[in-house]
Amino acid sequence: MTLALGTIADDYTGASDLANTLAKNGLRTVQTVGIPADDLPLGEVDAVVVSLKIRSVPAAEAVEKARAADRWLRARGAGHVMYKICSTFDSTDEGNIGPVLDALSADAGAAAVLVTPAFPETGRTVYQGHLFVGAVPLNESPLKDHPLNPMHDANLVRVLGRQSVSRVGLVPQALVARGADAIRARLAELAADGIGGVIADAVNEADLVALGAAALDSRVSVGASGLGLGLARGLVATGRVLRVDATASVMAGVGGLSACLAGSCSKATLEQIARAEDAMPVLRLSAEALVSGPAEAEDALEWAAARIESGPVLIASSASPAEVARLQALHGREAAGHAIEQGLATIAEGLVKRGVRRLVVAGGETSGAVVDRLGIPAFALGPEIAAGVPVLRAIGGAHGDLLMALKSGNFGGVDFFTDALGLMSK
Ligand SMILES: Nc1ncnc2c1ncn2[C@@H]1O[C@H](COP(=O)(O)OP(=O)(O)O)[C@@H](O)[C@H]1O
Ligand SMILES: O=C(O)[C@@H](O)C(=O)COP(=O)(O)O
């Protein structure tokens, strides 16, 4: 395997989002969970997305894991490695975007590394260094209430500046719109000036294509799925990759029962759960009970066992910002989040033991906990359910054929759960 592109994602839903974009744009892509064992059959691929769970861990741990993934990808031929972050720049003043960028850049001997979370297809645009979510700046969007990484500043030059050891620059949209050569020239000036990370504006696909072409000249970039689109288009346009659609064959022949789990408290997920109540039985867990001991997860499995033979069910811990804040005040942000993730992972494991073979999970950290518990080493890419969310098919692991969808909290239309199960049943 000689990789045309290596990527490292800071969470598992983000990884499937990026893998979806790369596959849609013609790259044969596989998503691995961590660094895969040497004997895992990944096939001939153009791009590997190594999923890590490092968005909300201490910065030193994130750096160590990202560097190990980077070494693995480079040893397989990847000349360019993109670090996939959230399109809403989820991070804190301690990191982890800045520290990982600094480390990967130093290892690769790169300078003036392009950074853009823009993903216009899902309403994330960057203008004058400010991130917009739909029509509002990041700090006025639902991300201000995120349970783990509440975002209170839309100025990404400032946000990254607080996290990175080096100074941060900007490539404004007026310059991006002039194309890849203009971007290259500006990056060279910024590098000469000692700038480390460079926030790049992008408001549409043409901006992403120009940024992708320029980024491929460097050994490192940092961004969300939009930058992935630019990189993939650049690789195909320059003939380094032959465009292929390999996603259709992934769906064949998976039977079994289906279920959905939600640990995301994002606005979109809360609306999707409310809508799912019209289509399937929905169990709303007590987050307090889930944090207090194993009984809530055991009861949920009994509830599900009585229903899943007749059709899909949805089990959710998701709650409103006020309820999340109340639980966090009692138990602490990280302890509450971790305990709930583990409770949902226990339920996922129990569901798969009871014959579930099509499993939809909402929430990035939640998906990480579930996939780890199921011990899935990698995924092949199936068709897209909604922007940023593909069907995945497990490669290897103890559970045989298993289709999954890992939904980022804010992604998907209001009918997401029924849309996902509908596509996974075809
Ligand atoms: N009722 C709740 N109260 C507090 N925290 C919760 C609750 N339900 C879920 N959580 C936690 O909130 C976090 C949601 O993050 P994540 O799964 O990444 O979702 P998203 O994709 O929306 O960011 C997880 O750590 C999860 O365990
Ligand atoms: O880039 C994005 O928005 C997503 O791919 C993503 O990373 C979202 O994170 P979660 O909402 O925590 O899944």
Question: CB of 40 closer than 6 A to ligand 1?
Answer: no
Of the candidates 211, 237, 263, which is a domain's last residue? 237
Task: Find the 193 Cα to ligand 2 centroid distance in Å.
Answer: 33
Asked if 389 and 400 touch (Cβ cutoff 8 Å), the reply is no
Any domain includes 19: yes
Select from 84, 85, 87 the residue to mutate for testing ligand 2; criterion: most ligand atoms less than 8 Å from CB. 87
Alpha-carbon gap, residue 21 to 25, rounded angstroms: 6
Ligand 2 binding pocket, CB closer than 6 Å:
11, 13-14, 17, 86-88, 119, 224-225, 364, 388, 408-410
228 and 268 fall within a common domain: no
218 and 295 fall within a common domain: no
Task: Find the 306 Cα to ligand 2 centroid distance in Å.
Answer: 33
Any domain includes 360: yes
Residues in the chain: 426
What pLDDT score was predicted for residue 147?
Answer: 78
157 and 287 fall within a common domain: no
pLDDT tens sequence across 53-92:
999 899 999 999 999 999 999 999 999 999 999 999 999 8
Q: Which stretches of 72-156 are assigned E, i.e. beta strand?
A: 81-84, 113-116, 124-127, 130-133, 136-137
Q: How far apart are the first and last CA of the chain?
A: 31
Alpha-carbon gap, residue 122 to 132, rounded angstroms: 11
410 and 379 fall within a common domain: yes
Any domain includes 242: no
118 and 227 fall within a common domain: yes
> What is the number of the ligand 2 atom nearest to the C-alpha of 365?
12
Any domain includes 362: yes
ipTM over 0.90: yes
> Containing domain of residue 393, as a range?
248-424
Alpha-carbon gap, residue 26 to 42, rounded angstroms: 17
183 and 313 fall within a common domain: no
**How confident is the prediction along the chain (426 residues), in pLDDT tens digits per residue?**
789 999 999 999 999 999 999 999 999 999 999 999 988 888 889 999 999 999 989 999 999 999 999 999 999 999 999 999 999 999 988 989 999 999 999 999 999 999 999 999 999 999 999 999 999 999 999 888 887 888 899 999 999 999 999 999 999 999 999 999 999 999 999 999 999 999 999 999 999 999 999 999 999 999 999 999 999 999 999 999 998 877 777 777 788 899 999 999 999 999 999 999 999 999 999 999 999 999 999 999 999 999 999 999 999 999 999 999 999 999 998 899 999 999 999 999 999 999 999 999 999 999 999 999 999 999 999 999 999 999 999 999 888 889 999 999 989 999 999 999 999 987
The strand pairing partners of 343, in sequence order, are none
Any domain includes 243: no
Question: CB of 327 closer than 6 A to ligand 1?
Answer: yes
Asked if 202 and 120 touch (Cβ cutoff 8 Å), the reply is yes
The CA–CA distances, whole Å, from 291 to 52, 86, 335, 343 equal 24, 27, 8, 8
Any domain includes 223: yes
Any domain includes 117: yes
Of the candidates 183, 203, 237, which is a domain's last residue? 237
191 and 303 fall within a common domain: no
Asked if 314 and 417 touch (Cβ cutoff 8 Å), the reply is yes
Report the domain count for the chain.
Answer: 2
194 and 328 fall within a common domain: no
The bound ligand whose nearest atom lies closest to the alpha carbon of 265 is 1
**CA-proximal residue: ligand 1, atom 4 (nearest):** 324
Task: Find the 263 Cα to ligand 1 centroid distance in Å.
Answer: 5
Alpha-carbon gap, residue 26 to 369, rounded angstroms: 30
Asked if 138 and 154 touch (Cβ cutoff 8 Å), the reply is yes
58 and 135 fall within a common domain: yes
330 and 226 fall within a common domain: no
220 and 263 fall within a common domain: no
220 and 252 fall within a common domain: no
What pLDDT score was predicted for residue 149?
Answer: 83
CATH code of 334's domain: 3.40.980.20
The CA–CA distances, whole Å, from 236 to 122, 151, 202, 246 equal 23, 35, 21, 15
Alpha-carbon gap, residue 399 to 348, rounded angstroms: 12
Any domain includes 323: yes
Task: Find the 37 Cα to ligand 1 centroid distance in Å.
Answer: 30
CATH code of 166's domain: 3.40.50.10840
Number of helices (H), then strands (E), belonging to the chain: the values are: 15, 18
Of the candidates 237, 264, 295, which is a domain's last residue? 237
What pLDDT score was predicted for residue 41?
Answer: 86
